Amino acid sequence: MISAADIAALDANDPLAPFRSRFALPDGVTYLDGNSLGALPVATVDRQMAVLRDEWGQGLIRSWNSADWISSPARVGAKIARLIGAAPHEVTVADSTSVNLFKLIVGALQMQRGRHVVLSEPGNFPTDLYLIESAIRTLGGKHRLELVSRESITQHLSDDTALVLLTHVHYKTADLYDMADITGAAQRAGALMLWDLSHSAGAVPLDLTEAHADFAVGCGYKFLNGGPGAPAYLYVAERHQAHIQSPLGGWMGHARPFAFDDGYEPAPGIARFLCGTPPILSMAALESGVDLFLEADMSQVAAKSRALATLFIDLVTERCAGYGLELVGPERGAPRGSHVSFRHPEGYAIMQALIARQVIGDFRAPDVMRFGLTPLYLRYTDIAHAVDVLEEILRTRAYIAPEFHVRHAVT
């Protein structure tokens, strides 16, 4: 039996506890969706006002130079590189994760002449699979997508495999791949490896250099707290940078954008993956979120993520047994990403009832309730409160109310 005193002791001994006050969290809300849209850092508000009033308002176009807006993709990329174990010049910030996937899939397939298969898993995040299909169509249909179970990926590698694209932490289940292991197997078969780190960066330890990764992408608006629709990042290992081309060769990826040449010449390094003008307000918000993360010790973040997940699973096991909840993904104590998911036939309505009671998670069709665990601003008492509210909803069947069955556009 886990007591309130046990949980209070966990909070009292939490080395990350001071970070919570650095976020502008609404009173009374238990926020378990920071894996989908991270919370607002307090510093972001002041920084946005400074960018608006001073840099845009006063500096006007001069701020591309005087406030160094022009270097923001490289500068913010270099900061993200520290969170994912990459060298500063191997990461840049541009576009959305979807667009970056397209650029890297096409670029990688063009490096792999004579190989035709892109390997991924069924149930990968949909945009990853859709962008593989888009890339195949763009390249004239001579490639094909093979979807195989995560357990059998290495058995399906062959001398026809051009690229393996996997999401390191599964968006629904929190299943976690061994990055070095899969990357090594893919490369031994002559394939290139592209990792989607959207649910990994800022949540689990990452070392792309040690894993000898080829390519990676990830979202800025989840654990990195970059704000709704924040730009995404992409990583290209230094050894590939001179050999891969972006299919979207825009002027910001040109070797000399302000020479205004008629012909395209790619920038020598990762800057060739920029396309158009960077969104400066969003870049500034992402930079504030990343700066805050860089103050934290990633080993403490990872340890707290595991402890929050263990507590969540233990409390649900103890207090919600017999109501038909089924843990999805890794078992208690197994390696996992930083969210916990439960399946229930009434998952959508239960989540709506939770949200109505100010406990915010999300729902992933057809039946998965997902709870994001963000170590920088969640307390162990928040987990206990969320499970208490969940138990009350299940026990009283509050979720049968018609208003909880109305489907919203975003779930």
Ligand X SMILES: Cc1ncc(COP(=O)(O)O)c(C=O)c1O
96 binds ligand X (CB under 6 A): yes
SS3 139: coil
Strand partners, 169: 176
Interaction pattern, residues 57-76, with ligand X; x per rule: CB under 6 A = --------------------
177 a catalytic residue: no
196 binds ligand X (CB under 6 A): yes
221 a catalytic residue: yes
Strands 161-167 and 359-360: unpaired
Quick one: which of 48, 59, 52 has its CA closest to 285? 48
211 binds ligand X (CB under 6 A): no
Tokens of 259: 């020479």
Piece in contact with ligand X (CB under 6 A), picked from 92-100, 115-123, 335-343, 391-399: 92-100
Tell me the C-alpha distance between 154 and 150, whole Å: 9
**CA 144 from centroid of its chain's CA atoms:** 26
Among 171, 235, 371, 404, binds ligand X (CB under 6 A): 171
127 binds ligand X (CB under 6 A): yes
196 a catalytic residue: yes
323 a catalytic residue: no
Quick one: which of 169, 301, 286, 305 has its CA closest to 225? 286
Query: Shortest Cβ distance from residue 385 to ligand X (Å)?
Result: 26
173, containing H or E segment: none
222 a catalytic residue: yes
Catalytic residue among 79, 115, 172, 222: 222
Tell me the C-alpha distance between 216 and 234, whole Å: 6
DSSP letters spanning 253-273: GBSSGGG--SS--B-SSGGGG
200 binds ligand X (CB under 6 A): no
Catalytic residue among 31, 102, 221, 293: 221
Among 92, 112, 183, 198, binds ligand X (CB under 6 A): 198
Catalytically annotated residues? 125, 196, 221-222, 370
Q: Which residues bind ligand X (CB under 6 A)?
A: 96-98, 125, 127-128, 167, 171, 196, 198-199, 219, 232
